[in-house]
Amino acid sequence: MIQSFQFQRVILFDVLVSATKKNKIQIDYDSSNETVYIKGINGLYEFDCGELSGWMYKVNGETPNVGCSGYKLKDGDVIEWVYTANIGKDL
């Protein structure tokens, strides 16, 4: 899923929730201690393709070292949600 947004200081997780709701895509996540973990998108879940599989995101082609609930987007950022089978080494 690739989305381009033109908002300033929007949290990446909020954009994911908005995009999935708008496009009627199922999403499953856990939230605790101000952190959100994406468990599944559109029926594809963590561990479906092995013990190292799950969802990751990229912003402008890079994988940030912060969770989606802590990443503040800048105007023009391009977001990609990608599924990895090997904790990102296969991306």
User: Which residue spans within 14-91 are E strands per DSSP?
Assistant: 27-32, 35-41, 44-45, 54-59, 78-84
Helix (H) or strand (E) segment spanning residue 2 = strand 2-4
Predicted confidence (pLDDT) at residue 6 exceeds the cutoff of 60: no
Q: From CA 58, how far away is CA 77, in angstroms rounded?
A: 10
Query: Would you state the pLDDT for residue 55?
Result: 98
Residue 2: pLDDT band (50, 70, 90) is low
Predicted confidence (pLDDT) at residue 1 exceeds the cutoff of 80: no
Could you report the per-residue pLDDT of 55-72, keeping only the tens digit for each? Answer: 999 999 999 999 999 999
